Amino acid sequence: MKYLIKVYWWKPLTVILLIYTVIGGFLMSAPRLPILNETIRILHFHVPMWFGMIIMFTFSVFYSLKYLSTKNLVYDLYASQLVNIGIMFGVLGIISGMIWANFTWGEPWSNDPKQNASVVALLIYLALIILRGSLQDDHHKARIGAVYNIFAFAVLIPLLFVLPRMTDSLHPGNGGNPAFGQYDLDSDLRIVFYPAVLGWTLLGFWIATQQIRLASLQKHLDYE
């Protein structure tokens, strides 16, 4: 994070990757599949949101652990801002998923285990924000927030990655549905999808670094 704040080379890269994603995602050839048809193009916008959310939350937990071991408030700032961006990704992922599901599964919400797990993830992190808001002292807020963040993450990971695999799901790869690799393997989608994941994730980090710089400037001004 410190490195990302200091250097700039990855910002033009983000712009190029996202322009490529939008143009490539809408215009390049995509496989024709029954039911999915052209809606498969939303793959480049829906799935990277979840990658982005998990990456943001993972980094946030990493910085929470670092805060607990060093007591340096900078790490708490990183952790809290990354959580905000993760929630943003989560909301966008749910909305894009509901739009996609409306076309393919026939209804926006169908009690799918992954849909439920993602709502739980959002509930946990919104609760974290409220918990942080209800504490006054900076160090107190950082420590209690870090504890809840780590605890919630340890519960969330099995919920997201283990439980949906144990039950039937409409998502690919669960309960007899075609796995991700089957329509992705023809590599038409793959050459757009992987850059899209990287691009959206970097965009998340970009917003996070802006927020971190803004927050540290505001703190600096408050002290003067």
Q: How far is the CB of 73 from another protein (least distance, A)?
A: 15
Q: Which is nearer to another protein, 123 or 185 (CB)?
A: 123
Lookup: tokens for 207: 């917003």
Which spans in the chain are helix H?
Answer: 2-6, 10-27, 43-70, 73-104, 113-133, 138-161, 163-166, 180-184, 190-223
Q: Judged by CB under 8 A, does residue 91 bind another protein?
A: no
Query: Residue 176 gets which letter from DSSP?
Result: T
Q: How far is the CB of 216 from another protein (least distance, A)?
A: 24
Cα-based angle 142, 129, 11 (whole degrees, multiple of 5) = 85
CA 105/CA 101 separation, integer angstroms? 5
Q: Judged by CB under 8 A, does residue 73 bind another protein?
A: no
Q: Judge contact between 4 and 209, C-beta under 8 A.
A: yes
Cα-based angle 25, 100, 59 (whole degrees, multiple of 5) = 70
Q: How far is the CB of 159 from another protein (least distance, A)?
A: 5
Q: Judged by CB under 8 A, does residue 68 bind another protein?
A: yes
Q: Judged by CB under 8 A, does residue 53 bind another protein?
A: no
CA 99/CA 110 separation, integer angstroms? 12
Lookup: tokens for 195: 């850059």
Q: How far is the CB of 126 from another protein (least distance, A)?
A: 8
Which residues within the stretch 110-169 sit at the binding site for another protein (CB under 8 A)? 120, 123-124, 127, 130-131, 134-135, 140, 143-144, 146-148, 150-152, 154-155, 158-159, 162-163, 166
- Residues in contact with another protein by the rule CB under 8 A: 68, 120, 123-124, 127, 130-131, 134-135, 140, 143-144, 146-148, 150-152, 154-155, 158-159, 162-163, 166
